[in-house]
Structure formats: C-alpha cells, structure tokens
Structure 1
Amino acid sequence: MEFCPSCGILLQYELPHMDRPARFFCPTCPYVCNIESKVKIKRRQRLVKKEIEPIISKDDLKNAPVTEATCPRCSFKKAAFHQVQMRSADEPMSTFYYCLGENCGEQWRED
C-alpha cells in the first residue's frame, strides 16, 4: 500500500497504457508515481530465531498442581500441569504438562 505524500490518501493503481508504465495516482490531487519494472533489494538481513521461553519456570513447578498423566518419554504416571487460554474464549484451554519423574523433565501439551 502506498499513500500520497501530499494529502495522505491511499493511492490507486493504474494499468500500463501504450508507452506509459503502470503507476500509482492520487484520486484527490495531481500526484502520480510511476512504478519501475525492476525490484531493488537495498539490503539483506538475516533472521535470527528467538529462544522459546517456557511458560512455567522450574520454580513455579513447586506450587503447580499435580495430576495423573502418563509421560510420553519415560511413562512416569504423575505430572505437574498448567492451563492457558491460547485461542478464543469459546475454545477449550490448552494444558501444559511437566513430567515429575527423576531426570526426565519432559514437557508436552494437550489442546
């Protein structure tokens, strides 16, 4: 989307006609901007993956409620859990489980 630098109105697109290239024009003032056929890349920027932060820290697990849930990794029968409303209000909450088995620490989620 392009906006008119003089009046701020959204510019409209006009198809190329005969020898005139495609262009943007302002419907309220005489501003016209011709569109170049080549795209110029000014700089390349590498995207960096962000580290995912846990929803519950290890300190919060001490006070988290415990339920009977089987760990998919070690088959331990108890896990701490935390529920979060991730989607709209008419959808069920997402439940995050944390295995309480020794040296496991597996985390999984049920929607």
Structure 2
Amino acid sequence: MAGVFSSSTAFCSRCGSILPLLKEFGFVKCYFCKEIYGAENFNNLKFQYTIHFNSVSLENHKDIVNMDNPEGPVVERKCPKCGGERMSYATLQLRSADEGQTVFYTCISCKYKETENS
C-alpha cells in the first residue's frame, strides 16, 4: 500500500479515510477515493477498541447527586412500585430512525425498572 499517507491497513494510504471491512469478494474499495486494496493486505488483521468514559468527581456535588449509586442522570419521576420521587434514566434508539427513542427508567430507591417509548 504505497501512497501519500503512512498508515495502518485500517486506513487508505492514498486519501487517509477509514477503510470498510474486508468482504467476501477478496478486496476492499475506499469509499472516498475508490482506491482498491487486495485481501493480502489484510492478513492477520485484528481490531481492538477501548472506550474510556469520563470520570466525575462527586465531592463538590453531593447536594445535587443522590449518593445511592444512580445508574444515569436523575429526573423527578414517581416510581409505580415504591412511590419514590426520583428515577435515573438511559435512552436508546431501538426502533426505526423515524420513530422516537426508548427511555429506560430505574428507581433510585428500589431499583424497579420500566421503559417508555417517546
């Protein structure tokens, strides 16, 4: 792979774009510049990804954050099981893109879980 860029086999050496995964056809074609790479360039290629989340110091926010280990951001929402007034939530796009997201709520007090399609 000779080109303008010095890169690993995950990137196009001609334009620097990320390359798609090797398909069953035995070659990879860059989406951007259309450069073609043979399968021999990808022997023993392994990818490893590590995602690092930001850590937050709660020392200065003890009055804002419930210290009972909420599982996400906290909102004022009544728990149908125990009547607690606060629940943490997380959102995911589980349905098609033209529909709303799914919200997963967890009670801070009793850990009861419920979902809502928004």
Shared fold per TM-score greater than 0.5:
no
Structure with greater Cα Rg:
1
Report the TM-score, using the length of structure 1 for normalisation. Answer: 0.41
